């Protein structure tokens, strides 16, 4: 129950945080807060703070730190500026983007755009 309380607390805190310019919708995924914007191609989530990721490549492993951008396309395709190409889907429990062995999940959250014209129903999990 402690983990649920922590996640709920983070979600409440993120929703109460100041909005990023151009959006007032905040999402929490992969223990980071993200701001949503919508466009004709689908959804764009931008991390609100720098993220550090360890990229495993054997002797060439590295840490990449900075703001991240996650694109979720109308054809269920996903693109991430560090994790590259992947796919995404949604279900009653939220939505998730998958990139090989790495995924970014947004539990108990729905993608919603202010104009209401961006609903994507073909990307169910």
pLDDT over threshold 80, residue 121: no
**CA–CA separation, 93 vs 51, rounded Å?**
24
For residues 74 and 118, give the distance between their C-alpha atoms in angstroms, rounded to a whole number: 9
Give the tens place of pLDDT for each residue, 18-55: 333 444 678 999 999 999 999 889 999 999 999 999 88
Helices (DSSP H) in the chain: which residue ranges? 2-16
For tokens 């693109």, the residue is 79
User: pTM for the whole thing?
Assistant: 0.75
Helix, strand and coil percent figures for the chain, each rounded to 5: 15, 45, 40
State residue 71 phi and psi, 5-degree precision.
Answer: -105, 130
pLDDT reported for residue 120: 75
The pair phi, psi for residue 63, each rounded to 5°, is -105, 130
Q: How many CB atoms lie within 10 A of CB 85?
A: 10
Task: Provide mean pLDDT across the span 58-84.
Answer: 94
* Least trusted range by pLDDT, from 24-28, 33-37, 59-63, 77-81: 24-28
The three-state secondary structure class of 88 is strand
What does pLDDT average to over the chain? 82
pLDDT of residue 24: 61
């Amino acid at each position: 129950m402690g983990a649920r309380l922590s996640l709920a607390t983070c979600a409440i805190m993120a929703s109460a945080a100041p909005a990023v310019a151009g959006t007032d919708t905040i999402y929490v995924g992969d223990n980071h807060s993200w701001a949503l914007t919508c466009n004709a191609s689908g959804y764009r989530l931008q991390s609100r703070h720098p993220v550090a990721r360890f990229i495993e490549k054997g002797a060439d492993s590295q840490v990449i730190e900075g703001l991240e951008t996650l694109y979720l396309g109308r054809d269920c395709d996903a693109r991430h500026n560090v994790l590259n190409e992947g796919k995404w889907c949604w279900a009653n429990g939220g939505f998730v983007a998958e990139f090989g062995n790495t995924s970014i999940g947004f539990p108990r959250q729905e993608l919603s755009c202010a104009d209401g014209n961006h609903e994507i129903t073909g990307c169910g999990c």
